[in-house]
Chains A and B, each alone.
Chain A
């Protein structure tokens, strides 16, 4: 079972797209539906397509309003991060498109999805949904990633699993994403903080997101390091679904 503090993922909730997933973030209550179509022809954009790579398009639909500047901003963040890990030169992908649509179905707090508010509390849910949807569409990727949000209170205390209220009251909020190899893929921060604080936040986020090499080396049933639950959660979500779908392989 998924540890409840990492949220609930479900694969293929909708049937028309090539791959889809929903993810519910337990802390903020954000429920995001992601759908991926890939590789797909983008006839209207043929002149704008890159000749040797797939074009990645990301659309974010907020829960209560129509997409605007804030959504364009997170779409840019997602496109940069995902573009770095999608293998757009694999067979069948060049000059075609990877289209990812993320719809926020429920916001934890109506205020959090309002116009002009911070997007950082929503960003981890969007990133995890995007990854799950890409996995379920079998888009080739060089690696996967895990991400977390960390808040720092005015007194300098680090909160690892902040609620929306915690994030509102914090001096600074940070979203970090690490690849499965331990590279830092994304760091987005808001508020005032110094370098020492950021270093502390980075180290903390790394232990949450990334499984140390020694633990994953066995690649079987190994003892997972305490705290590094995200990679384990992702692997278990995938195993549950694939194991069910391919049950006949074990007969």
Chain B
């Protein structure tokens, strides 16, 4: 890989670091904008009248396959709802038509329709109580300030829970991780179906835990983009609770200390040993 390009607000993206021009339009991710060069002080002939300028500080990341460029900014940000994100929400209270859910702390409640579940009708709908968890998709975020975030556990077009697994989460336990780590975990799980060899974004924690805990029956995991991870080891028998807590400790530890893949494996081995799970 070539030397990394760090950008500060107002810096121009060097044109030789962008994906080569092709027929497909270049996609600009967050943190970049297109400006027209109105007063060109340099005398050299510019290839185009436009420059791409950073608006946020960070590391330039280009994706040649998708013909996209974006800026990796400072991590550790509060979760801001975006349509189609998968989140883990907690029911706060329920009203006639909606469940009022907590997605981000210190933010207004998100709305989840009482009938927005797979196979739900007026007669048969999930009776969720305060504190119950749901795995849901962000349907819409509204426009402007003060708008309501709406969630759904079902694809309104097909009536199925798409992608699979949306709906109430029963049993298990929720752990908090940073928003950036949650995004990396999700990216890893979607990519691992295609190719199993390389760790995605430097996270080997789920693969490693899956291997080590296979003997006690494995575990189920759901990752929400809002920085929540739900873990359940209901097959684990006697060691189910210990295994759940161990997985949570591993995730929190790796998140807090930004561990490299080798350190992640060491940390997992140590935590499993402490929890007497290294059978």
Contact = CB atoms under 8 A, between A and B. Distances in A.
B114 to A, nearest CB: 26
Contacts of A165: none
B7 to A, nearest CB: 9
Interface string B27-39: 0000100000000
A49 B59 contact: no
A129 interface: no
Majority secondary structure, B binding face: loop
A249 B8 contact: no
B74 A41 contact: no
Interface stretch (A120-128, A132-140, A147-155): A132-140
Interface residues of B, number: 39
Nearest to B184: A248
B85 interface: no
A96 B57 contact: no
Interface of B: 1, 3-6, 8-12, 14, 31, 41-42, 55-59, 61, 72-78, 80, 107-108, 144-146, 201-203, 258, 260-261
A200 interface: no
Interface string A103-142: 0000000000000000000000000000000011111111
Nearest to A214: B42
Contacts of A244: 258
Given A219-B5, A248-B201, A141 B145 contact: no
A248 B202 contact: yes
Contacts of A219: 5, 11-12, 14
Contacts of B75: 245-246
A19 B55 contact: no
Q: Which 4 A-B pairs have the closest CB atoms?
A: A248-B202, A143-B10, A95-B145, A141-B9
A43 B146 CA distance: 8
Interface stretch (A10-18, A191-199, A202-210): A10-18
29 contacts: A18-B78, A19-B74, A19-B77, A46-B145, A85-B9, A87-B55, A92-B80, A94-B144, A94-B145, A95-B144, A95-B146, A135-B56, A138-B31, A140-B9, A140-B55, A180-B8, A220-B3, A220-B14, A238-B58, A239-B6, A242-B57, A242-B59, A245-B74, A245-B75, A246-B72, A247-B258, A248-B203, A249-B61, A249-B201
Interface residues of A, number: 50
A25 B214 CA distance: 54
B60 to A, nearest CB: 10
Contacts, number: 119
B6 A141 contact: no
Nearest to B75: A245
A245 B55 CA distance: 19
Contacts of A136: 74
Contact of B74 (A49, A138, A142, A180): A138
A235 interface: yes
A6 interface: no
A214 to B, nearest CB: 10
B59 A249 contact: yes
Contacts of A180: 8-11
Given A41-B107, A138-B56, 4 more contacts: A135-B57, A138-B74, A143-B9, A180-B8
Given A180-B11, A221-B3, A140 B74 contact: no
